[in-house]
Each structure stands twice: as C-alpha cells, then as structure tokens.
Structure 1
Amino acid sequence: MMLEQSSHPRSLRAKDSVLTATTELLAEGGLPAATVDAVSARSGVSKATIYKHWPCRTAIAAEAFGKQMAAAIPQPDKGNAHDDLAEQVRRVSEFYAGPEGLVFAQLLAASVTDPAASPYFRKYFLDLRRAAVAELWQRALDRGEVKPQISAETATDILFGPLIFRLMTGHAPLTAEEADKISAACLHGLLKD
C-alpha cells in the first residue's frame, strides 16, 4: 500500500533528495546501483526515513524514473493527430533505445516480481505516460481526426506496446526509422480516411 507523502517542508526536502539521488544512481548503474544503502548515502537521508515513505528500492526507483521520463519526453504539438502521435512514438522509442531503456526494462521486470513496487511503477511511470498519450488522443478526437470508438487506452497500447516488446525481447531495433514504421502501421488503422 502506498503511503501519502507529508507536505512538511523537511519531509519534502528529504523526498526530493532521495529522488535526486536515485535518479543519479539509476543513470550510473541502473536499478542494481540504486540500493537503499546507496540512496541513503548519496541523499543524506536515513534509511528509516526512506522506508517511512517507500516500501522498497524499486518503488523509489519507479517514482524517480517516472518523473525523469516525463521531463525527458515533452508533448508534441504539430497541429494534427498523425504528426503528433508519430512524433511521440519516435520520442519514446529514442528514450528506450538509450541507457534509460535498460533502466525501464529493469524496473518493469522488478515490478512484476515485487508486489510492493507495482503500484509505484503504475502510478509514477505507466499512469503518467498513458495520461500524456490520452491528452494527444483527446486533441485528435476534438479535431475529428481519429475514430471516436477507439479509446485512448487502446490507442496507447497499439502505438507503444510494440516499443516495449522490442525493448524487452531485443528482436528488432529501436530506431527512428523503425518507430516511424510502427506508427505508420498503427495509425493507418486508427485515423479516419
């Protein structure tokens, strides 16, 4: 069960320090480097305080990583559904193709086997990413460019699921060219004629 975070300034500073330290450790060595001991040492926040706010290191990493990805992948606004969605697929593919892709794969795998971490991964990573795509989808719906019977949830799965599958299996590359092929194939069935 996720704990509500305190709004006390000291608690907020500690949380920010922990998330900053975790982001740095993830960048340096992935999830294996982001142990609670390492986060505590880097952030100057005691392990007791860390465990007061998070149940495990994967939960901390999921929150830190989700915030990092939100900042790293801004929403495109190219004026039409095709270009916006294709650009978003390209940006996410590029993110996954970089060092962050390995961290994402590690977090996804750890969240599958760690029930305490799963809610954090969904809230701070998946839900935020899905909400961003839902905004793009809503803009497209408002402009009448996509089929209204297709939900943002379904569109998100269709557009971004192949990227995660490629990342996790390594069966095909995550390049801009391949991202464009994925979005073109997906959008052909999603966009109105």
Structure 2
Amino acid sequence: MSSAVEPVSTRSSRTRRAVLDATAALMAEGGLTATTVDAIRNRSGVSKTTIYKHWPNRLCVAVDAFAERLASDASLPDTGTVRGDFREQIRRVSAYYASPVGSVFAQLLANAIQDPVASEWFQTRLLASRQRGIHQLWDRAVSRGEVRSEIDPDLALDLMFGPVMWRLVSGRRLVTADEADTIVDSVLNGLGVT
C-alpha cells in the first residue's frame, strides 16, 4: 500500500495562501502594528523559518498580502471624457484612502519607504499596476483627441494625484468630491486641455 505524497508546489501554494490569509486578517483587524511575524506564525500555523524562506521580512509579507487580499478593485472609470474619468478616479482613490483598508495602505507606504527591500516590493507589487492603470486613462484621453500627446503624462498625473497623496501622508482630511473636481479642472485648464 503506497502513501500519497503531496507535491511540493501544492504544499508551497497552500503554505503561501495560509500566510497571506493570516497576514491580511491581522492587518484588517489591527493594522500593520498587529502584523508581526509571531502573530502571522500563530494565525497561519506556518513556522517563522518557512515565512522567512518565502519573504525577506514582515513588510514584504504585508505588501504581498495587501496586494492579493486587501487591495481595492482596480477597474477604471470610462465616463467618455478626460475630465469625468479623472474626477471619478480621484474620488475613488480618496474614498479608498479614507477607508480602514486605506489606512493600512498608508501604514504600509510609510513603513516601506524606510526599508529598501520592502520599498521595491511595494513599488512592483502594488504601485506599478495602479500607475499603469492611471496611464491608461491618460492614453485614452490622448487617443480621443482630448489631450495633446506632447503633454508629459507623468507631470499631469503627479499634479492631479499629488494633493490626494499629500493629504494621505500628512494625516489631513482627504479630498472631497468637489475638491476632486476642482483639482482635475485646475490641472487640465493649466495644461491647456479644453
């Protein structure tokens, strides 16, 4: 009688899932401070050695768990106009940052900046796809002829989303819907977009 041996990839996948589920739950319950490697170990049943085998540090585990379990829906608005698209997107981003999950995102951002390894993980696993999405909104506006192609999209997007990020990191009240409209109109008018 032969005993079935579980393939390593299945076992590894199950271990990864347990760690990410435990980490996401801990962050949702108590934020990043509650998400220690000991707490992840206790919640997931996965040893610290195994956790460190897959992730360089707890912030990297948190970034992966956030990206896979807690990150918001990344669908993009399509209102038919550049102004409508960016107004809606800024409203969504601001509302997200005002939520409990958005608070965890801010904690991750603040901590990842101080850790070069976690900062790279944060950029590649969380920010890069979001930035590509925002660039798609801009590219759509260019293809519809609403925005001149010679306008630097990075500068325009920094101007639009900078106030939202500034308020997030400074702990101030987040951008309201009316303020989102004002920001988008001010930036697009300043760039000569009609």
Displacement of 1:43 in angstroms is: 2.1
Which residue identity does 1:185 align to in structure 2?
S
1:40 & 1:18 partners in 2: Cα distance? Answer: 8
Q: Which runs of 5+ in 1 are unaligned?
A: 1-6
Which residue identity does 1:45 align to in structure 2?
V
Rg comparison, structure with higher value = 2
Secondary structure at 2:113's aligned position in 1?
helix
Is 1:73–1:91's contact at 8 Å kept on the other side of the alignment? no
Is 2:21–2:69's contact at 8 Å kept on the other side of the alignment? no
Show structure 1 runs of 4+ deviating over 4 A.
none
* Mapping of residues 74-89 of structure 1, within 5 Å: 74-89=75-90
Q: Once the two structures are superposed, what CA deviation does each residue of 1:86-110 show, in whole Å capped at 9, x if it has no partner?
A: 1111100000111123212211221
Is 1:167–1:174's contact at 8 Å kept on the other side of the alignment? no
Displacement of 1:69 in angstroms is: 5.8
Check if 1:135 corresponds to 2:136.
yes
How many corresponding residue pairs?
Answer: 187
Which residue identity does 2:146 align to in structure 1?
E
Is 2:72–2:96's contact at 8 Å kept on the other side of the alignment? no
Is 1:31–1:107's contact at 8 Å kept on the other side of the alignment? yes
Q: Once the two structures are superposed, what CA deviation does each residue of 1:43-84 show, in whole Å capped at 9, x if it has no partner?
A: 222222211111111111122223456543421122222211
TM-score (norm. length: structure 2): 0.85
Aligned position for 2:5: none
2:68 & 2:83 partners in 1: Cα distance? Answer: 26
1:153 & 1:87 partners in 2: Cα distance? Answer: 19
Q: CA RMSD in A?
A: 2.1
Which residue identity does 2:58 align to in structure 1?
R
Displacement of 1:122 in angstroms is: 0.7
Is 1:25–1:33's contact at 8 Å kept on the other side of the alignment? yes
Q: Which runs of 5+ in 2 are unaligned?
A: 1-7
Aligned position for 1:63: 64
Secondary structure at 2:149's aligned position in 1?
coil
Check if 1:108 corresponds to 2:109.
yes
When residues 177 and 69 of structure 1 are mapped into structure 2, their CA distance, relative to the original with a 3 A threshold, is farther
Aligned position for 1:17: 18
Q: Once the two structures are superposed, what CA deviation does each residue of 1:136-173 show, in whole Å capped at 9, x if it has no partner?
A: 11211211211212343333322212111011113443
Aligned position for 2:175: 174
When residues 37 and 191 of structure 1 are mapped into structure 2, their CA distance, relative to the original with a 3 A threshold, is farther
Secondary structure at 2:116's aligned position in 1?
coil
Is 1:97–1:174's contact at 8 Å kept on the other side of the alignment? no
Q: Once the two structures are superposed, what CA deviation does each residue of 1:20-48 show, in whole Å capped at 9, x if it has no partner?
A: 22221111111101111112222222222
Of the structure 1 ranges 100-109 and 161-170, higher mean CA displacement relative to structure 2 is found in 100-109
